[in-house]
Structure 1
Amino acid sequence: MIRFDQIRVTFDNFTAISDLNLEVAEGEFFTLLGPSGCGKTTALRTLAGLVTPSSGDIHIDGKKVTALPSDKRGIGMVFQNYALFPSMSVRENIAFGLKVRKTAADERAELVRDIARRVDLSDDQLEKNVSELSGGQQQRVAIARALVLKPKILLLDEPLSNLDAKLRQQLRVELKELQVQEGITTVYVTHDQDEALTMSDRVAVFNKGVIEQVGTPEEIYERSATEFVCNFIGDSSKLGPELVSRLASASGRQLDPRQLSYLRVEKPFIDVGADSGDTSVSGQQVRTASVEGQIVGRSYHGQHSRYTVRSYDSDVKVLVKETGAAALDVGHTVQLHLDPAYVLQYQATS
Structure 2
Amino acid sequence: MIRFDDVEVRYGDTVAIPRLDLEVREGEFFTLLGPSGCGKTTALRTLAGFVHPSAGRVFVDGRDVTRLPSDKREVGMVFQNYALFPSMSVRENIAFGLKVRRESRAERERLVADIARRVDLAEAHLDRNVAELSGGQQQRVAIARALVLQPKILLLDEPLSNLDAKLRQQLRHQLKELQAEVGITTVYVTHDQDEALTMSDRIAVFNAGRVEQVGTPQEVYDRSATEFVCTFLGDASRLTPALLTALDARHPGLDPRRTAYARLEKVALVAPGSSAPAGTCTVEGVVSSASYHGLHTTYAVESHGALVRVLFREDGRPRPAVGERVTLAVDPSHVLQYGDDDSASDAVPDPATVAAPAVGA
**Structure-1-length-normalised TM-score:** 0.92
In the other structure, the counterpart of 1:239 is: 239
In the other structure, the counterpart of 2:303 is: 311
Deviation of the 1:126 alpha carbon: 2.4
Letter aligned with residue 231 of structure 2: N
3-state SS of 1:5 partner: strand
Letter aligned with residue 312 of structure 1: H
Deviation larger for 183-192 or 140-149: 140-149
Query: Do residues 83 (structure 1) and 83 (structure 2) align?
Result: yes
Deviations 1:110-136 (A, max 9, x none): 443443344444444322222333444
In the other structure, the counterpart of 2:132 is: 132
Could you say which structure has the greater relative contact order, defined with CA pairs below 8 angstroms and 6 or more residues apart?
A: 2
* Aligned 1:228-307 pairs, distance under 5 A: 228-252=228-252, 254-274=253-273, 278-279=274-275, 285-307=277-299
Letter aligned with residue 37 of structure 1: G
* Aligned 1:334-345 pairs, distance under 5 A: 334-345=326-337
Q: Which blocks of at least 5 consecutive residues in structure 1 are unaligned?
A: none
In the other structure, the counterpart of 1:69 is: 69
Deviation of the 1:104 alpha carbon: 4.5
The aligned length equals: 341
Question: In 2, distance between residues paired with 1:181 and 1:132?
Answer: 28
Deviation larger for 42-51 or 290-299: 290-299
3-state SS of 2:245 partner: helix
Deviation of the 1:29 alpha carbon: 1.0
Q: Which blocks of at least 5 consecutive residues in structure 2 are unaligned?
A: 342-361
* Aligned 1:137-148 pairs, distance under 5 A: 137-148=137-148
3-state SS of 1:66 partner: coil
User: Judging changes above 3 Å, is the alpha-carbon distance between structure 1 residues 105 and 14 closer, same or farther for their aligned structure 2 residues?
Assistant: same
In the other structure, the counterpart of 1:321 is: 313
Judge conservation of contact 2:240–2:306 (CA < 8 Å) in 1: yes
Deviation larger for 190-199 or 161-170: 161-170
Deviation of the 1:49 alpha carbon: 0.3
In the other structure, the counterpart of 2:96 is: 96
User: Judging changes above 3 Å, is the alpha-carbon distance between structure 1 residues 340 and 220 closer, same or farther for their aligned structure 2 residues?
Assistant: same
Letter aligned with residue 262 of structure 1: Y
Deviation larger for 206-215 or 319-328: 319-328
Letter aligned with residue 271 of structure 1: V
Deviation of the 1:58 alpha carbon: 0.4
User: Judging changes above 3 Å, is the alpha-carbon distance between structure 1 residues 18 and 307 closer, same or farther for their aligned structure 2 residues?
Assistant: same
Deviation of the 1:198 alpha carbon: 1.1
Question: In 1, distance between residues paired with 2:175 and 2:131?
Answer: 24
Question: In 2, distance between residues paired with 1:300 and 1:111?
Answer: 49
3-state SS of 1:125 partner: helix
**Structure-2-length-normalised TM-score:** 0.89
3-state SS of 1:154 partner: strand
Letter aligned with residue 257 of structure 1: P
Deviation of the 1:91 alpha carbon: 1.3
Question: In 1, distance between residues paired with 2:61 and 2:222?
Answer: 32
3-state SS of 1:328 partner: coil
3-state SS of 2:266 partner: coil
Judge conservation of contact 2:221–2:234 (CA < 8 Å) in 1: yes
Query: Do residues 17 (structure 1) and 9 (structure 2) align?
Result: no
Question: In 2, distance between residues paired with 1:294 and 1:119?
Answer: 52
Judge conservation of contact 2:118–2:178 (CA < 8 Å) in 1: no
Deviation of the 1:244 alpha carbon: 0.5
Question: In 1, distance between residues paired with 2:275 and 2:192?
Answer: 35
Judge conservation of contact 1:89–1:129 (CA < 8 Å) in 2: yes
Deviation larger for 301-310 or 317-326: 317-326
Deviations 1:48-72 (A, max 9, x none): 0000111111011111111100010
Letter aligned with residue 268 of structure 1: V
Judge conservation of contact 2:202–2:217 (CA < 8 Å) in 1: yes
Question: In 1, distance between residues paired with 2:12 and 2:335?
Answer: 42
In the other structure, the counterpart of 1:183 is: 183
Deviations 1:223-269 (A, max 9, x none): 101111001001100000000011111123x1111111100110111
Query: Do residues 193 (structure 1) and 193 (structure 2) align?
Result: yes
Deviation of the 1:313 alpha carbon: 1.2
3-state SS of 1:224 partner: coil
